[in-house]
């Protein structure tokens, strides 16, 4: 019988835990947006039309990747997208992001982060949004960098017991893929979340040894 062996994972992009939100889900749903960036005394910069234009210019498919709260066109679609990324499954209140960018590859991330850093715009990364800790809630508004579309298994090194995946690959997806090769991924915190979220929260479980 073929012996099942465990592997460790390596991510092609980091997932960064961020703090909690000042707004309730009801306030976000009602459109009660709090101007976080650019306020007097704030350490964060504002998201301006020129900033959004610069961001769009760096993305290969801005119409499908970027949704801004104050966009003159398709505002209803933008608000729906922003509401979806304003909370996770925790009990913490939802955030009020101004803009969401859906990255499809690490190059997209490399395009977005330098601009946000240069303009002091806060960034919250997320994958599947299934966390119970509030780490993917955009508590400072700003930009949500969604890695949800980065869900590919990129490489597997059997000798090193190393699999390289994008951050939104789910545990069940990886284990189905590994099972065909006689391996399994042991981290099992009780949820089928994105592996980037596992990394950002230090998830483990009863089958893991740290």
Digit-coded pLDDT (tens) for 139-174: 999 999 999 999 999 999 999 999 999 999 999 999
User: How many domains, the chain?
Assistant: 2
Helix H or strand E segment including 144: strand 143-146
Shared domain check, 38 and 83:
yes
Last residue of a domain, one of 101, 121, 146: 146
One domain, residues 80 and 31 = yes
Q: How confident is the model at residue 12 (pLDDT cuts 50, 70, 90)?
A: very low
Assess whether pLDDT exceeds 50 at residue 179. Answer: yes
Distances (CA, A) of 64 to 27, 42, 113, 170: 26, 31, 18, 23
Per-residue pLDDT at 5: 52
122, 183: one domain: no
With both helix axes pointing from N to C terminus, report the angle between 106-118 and 49-58 in degrees, rounded to the nearest 10. 150
| Cβ proximity of 41 and 50 under 8 Å | no
Average pLDDT, the chain: 82
How confident is the model over 1-15, as a mean pLDDT? Answer: 46
Q: Which residue has the higher pLDDT, 10 or 106?
A: 106
Q: Do 88 and 39 belong to one domain?
A: yes
Closest CA to 94 of 24, 145, 17: 24
Query: Same domain for 42 and 130?
Result: yes
Residue in this structure with the two tokens 């306020």, named with its chain if needed: 39
Q: What is the pLDDT of residues 13-48, one digit of tens each?
A: 444 333 333 333 334 333 333 344 454 457 899 999
Helix extents (H) in the chain: 25-29, 49-58, 62-65, 75-84, 106-118, 171-179, 195-201
What range defines the domain where residue 195 resides? Answer: 5-13+151-201
pLDDT value at residue 7: 56
Regarding whether 78 and 164 lie in a shared domain, the answer is no
């Amino acid at each position: 019988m073929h012996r099942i062996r465990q592997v460790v994972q390596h991510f092609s992009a980091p997932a960064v835990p961020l703090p909690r939100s000042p707004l309730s889900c009801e306030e976000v749903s009602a459109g009660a947006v709090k101007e976080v960036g650019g306020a007097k005394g704030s350490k964060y910069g504002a998201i301006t039309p020129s900033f959004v234009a610069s961001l769009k210019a760096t993305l290969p498919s801005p119409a499908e990747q970027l949704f801004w709260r104050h966009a003159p066109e398709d505002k209803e679609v933008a608000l729906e997208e922003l509401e979806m990324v304003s909370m996770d499954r925790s009990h913490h209140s939802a955030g009020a992001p101004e803009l969401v960018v859906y990255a499809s590859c690490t190059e997209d991330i490399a395009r977005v982060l330098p601009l946000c850093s240069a303009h002091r715009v806060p960034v919250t990364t997320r994958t599947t949004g299934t966390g119970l800790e509030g780490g993917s809630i955009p508590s400072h508004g700003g930009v949500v960098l969604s890695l949800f579309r980065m869900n590919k298994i990129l490489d597997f090194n059997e000798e090193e017991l190393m699999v390289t995946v994008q951050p939104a690959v789910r545990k069940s997806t990886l284990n189905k893929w590994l099972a065909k090769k006689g391996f399994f991924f042991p981290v099992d915190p009780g949820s089928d979340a994105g592996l980037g979220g596992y990394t950002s929260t230090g998830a483990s479980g009863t089958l893991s040894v740290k």
